[in-house]
Amino acid sequence: MSVDDRQAPGRSHLDVTPADATDRGPGRIRGVLGWLDERTSVARVVRAGMRKVFPDHWSFLLGEVALFCFVILVLTGTYLTLFYVPSASEVTYQGPYAPMAGTQVSAAYDSVLRISFETKAGLLMRQIHHWTALAFVGVVILHLCRVFFTGAFRRPREVNWIIGFTLLVLAIALGFTGYSLPDDLLSGTGARIAYSAALSIPLIGPWLASLAFGGEFPTSAFISRFYVLHIMLLPGLVIVLITGHIALLVLQKHTQYRGGPAREDNVVGRAFWPGQAFLSSGLFFLTAAICSLLGAFFQINPVWLFGPFDAAVVSSPAQPDWYVGWLDGALRIFPSFEPTILGITIPSPFIPGIVIPGVLFTIVALWPFIEARITGDDRAHHILDRLWEHPLRTATGVAILTFFAVLTLAGGNDVLAFQFGFDVEFLTRLFRWLAVLLPIAAWIVTYRLCRGRLREGDHPSPPIAGHAVARTPDGGFEEIHE
């Protein structure tokens, strides 16, 4: 067979036949991958990652949903930053929203109105961003609850628990700083509450509040400072911690629920590739679709109805987003109490706004070490507990959740009073008692239920009598009599 090496008119030496492409394409790819692997040794890491086994239980997907929410927040937030103006300078609104025409507003508020009414897909992006922020904090809390109640934080995963809890705090901070950026009347009221809580800290409060808000509230600097926190510092910290969280998850063996072939020394589930990869991809698009549907059909945070921030005006009812409603509730129901210690007067917001949440957050963050100290159990654990198998842990978690739930409801005492015809003072006193009694009752009831379930496990009920059947050669079934 002869080969004509002469170049045909209109063809270059780079042109190849389909057969040549079939032969050389994979070879070229392998060559590039081989070149990369020689210099990075990445193939071994990739192969190990592909073989990483993930337990096949829906609750392990909560962490992935939280990650996907953060990705959606970054994408929609990037779009919004192209049009948002982080400035408190006064401008005259001259946009299409007629009720605000000619009103003196901040440049930040003006830009949010223009995003909502003039920027293409601006209102949709704003609402997707806001709904996703609410979902992000909620899913992080659910993920932490799953880890807490199943004991997944025990050795050797204490560091990952602290990272996860820090991510919750950062998620709340991200939500609050973003919630404050529109500079409307509702968000401005929330910023003033946060300023008052920071100001109440003895000795360092005034300096801390001045640093965060740029002076005595209201200031023209706090919007630009919150903007830097919201789009740079806090997301950067979240990315670093998520990376560390995932790295530890890969390095450590995954936890799993008891049952079947699951043991302390193995992981039963699906490999990352292809099963888990396709499942996670579908879950990402499902999460994005749900957030998009919420943003498209359910209005949230209509700042044009609230009006621009005015330090002399407070709207009522005025409730913040749900994840900081507990702080508002604590400040509403806590008695006006200002003790003087060593000549220093402690402002009334300090105990409900700083001390109580600080103590509870510290207990939750350090719980792996507290539990290990109480139980004396310092062994490595890879099999998860059932809810009733650790009554002290389960009862404490339920009590803390109950306490925060009561405070969150107390943050809407004015709305509840209006809707049901109660007196606000009556609801305030009621929530004071509920904040004390309900967590205690929840702890006692949960503890006793768990102890009772444990006793049932120690003395299992006899099996229910049944009938044995066998398959016949013709495909039917017949009862076996012994």
At position 28, the amino acid (one-letter code) is R
Q: Is the omega angle on the peptide bond into residue 460 within 30 degrees of 0, that is, cis?
A: no
- Residue 160 within a domain: yes
How is residue 81 written in tokens? 């930053």
CA–CA distance, 351 with 353 (Å, rounded to integer): 6
* Two structure tokens written together for 8: 């045909």
Phi, psi of 467 (to 5 degrees): -125, 140
Q: Which pLDDT value is given to residue 122?
A: 95
**Domain annotation covers residue 185:** yes
Give per-residue pLDDT as tens, 337-381: 888 888 888 888 999 999 999 999 999 999 999 999 999 988 888
Residue 480 lies in a domain: no
HEC readout, the chain: CCCCCCCCCCCCCCCCCHHHHHHHHHHHHHHHHHHHHHHHCHHHHHHHHHHCEEECCHHHHHHHHHHHHHHHHHHHHHHHHCCCCCCCCEEECCCCCHHHCCCEEEHHHHHHHHHHHCCCCHHHHHHHHHHHHHHHHHHHHHHHHHHHHHCCCCCCCHHHHHHHHHHHHHHHHHHHHHHHCCCEHHHHHHHHHHHHHHHCCCCCHHHHHHHHHCCCCCCCCHHHHHHHHHHHHHHHHHHHHHHHHHHHHHHCCCCECCCCCCCCCCCCEEEHHHHHHHHHHHHHHHHHHHHHHHHHHCCCCCHHHHCECCCCCCCCCCCCCHHHHHHHHHHHHCCCCCCEECCEECCCCHHHHHHHHHHHHHHHHCHHHHHHHHHCCCCCCCECCCHHHCHHHHHHHHHHHHHHHHHHHHCCHHHHHHHHCCCHHHHHHHHHHHHHHHHHHHHHHHHHHHHHHHHHHHCCCCCCCCCEEEECCCCCEEEECC
Residue 3 forms part of a structural domain: no
Q: What was the pLDDT predicted at 481?
A: 61
- Same domain for 54 and 184, yes or no, is yes
Distance CA 369, CA 377 (A): 10
* pLDDT at position 17: 43
pLDDT of residue 25: 55
User: What pLDDT score does 419 carry?
Assistant: 85
Residues 122, 172, single domain; the answer is: yes
Residue 372's Cβ-side half-sphere holds a number of Cα atoms within 13 Å equal to 15
Q: Are 213 and 221 in contact (CB under 8 A)?
A: yes
Taking every pair of Cα atoms in the chain, the longest distance, rounded to a whole number of angstroms, is 105
pLDDT of residue 243: 95
Phi-psi region of 214 (alpha: psi -120 to 50; beta: other; left: phi over 0): left
Is 307 among the domain residues?
yes
Which of 280, 314, 348 delimits the end of a domain?
314
| pLDDT of res. 53 | 81
Q: Is residue 61 one of the residues assigned to a domain?
A: yes
Task: Supply the angle between the helices 424-458 and 413-420 in degrees, to the nearest 10.
Answer: 100
Structure confidence by residue, pLDDT tens digits, 102-136: 999 999 999 999 999 999 999 999 999 999 999 99
Same domain, 384 and 282: no
Question: Cα(335)–Cα(350) distance, rounded to whole angstroms?
Answer: 12
Confidence (pLDDT) at 371: 94
Domain presence at residue 12: no
Same domain, 154 and 99: yes
The answer on 375 and 235 residing in a single domain is no
Domain check: are 377 and 411 in the same one?
Answer: yes
Is the domain of 308 the same as that of 344? no
Residues 89 and 235 in one domain: yes
Q: For residue range 448-482, list pLDDT tens digits in order.
A: 999 999 888 755 555 555 566 677 777 666 776 65
Q: Which domain holds residue 445?
A: 332-455
* CATH number of the structural domain spanning residue 71: 1.20.810.10
Token digits for 160?
A: 């990952």
Q: Enter the tokens of residue 239.
A: 């990315």
199 and 306 co-located in one domain: yes
Do 365 and 359 meet the contact criterion of CB atoms below 8 Å apart?
no
In-domain check, residue 463: no
Are the CB atoms for 122 and 62 separated by under 8 Å?
Answer: no
Same domain, 251 and 356: no
Are 399 and 446 spatial neighbours (Cβ–Cβ below 8 Å)?
yes
Q: How many domains does the chain have?
A: 2
For residues 230 and 184, membership in a common domain is answered with: yes
Residues of the chain with pLDDT under 70: 1-26, 315-317, 458-469, 475-477, 480-482
Instruction: Give Cβ neighbours of residue 256 (< 8 Å, ≥ 6 apart).
Output: 55, 57, 262, 267, 268, 269, 382, 383, 384
**265 and 350 housed in the same domain:** no
Please report the pLDDT score of residue 10 as a whole number. 42
Query: Rounded to two decimals, what is the model's pTM?
Result: 0.85
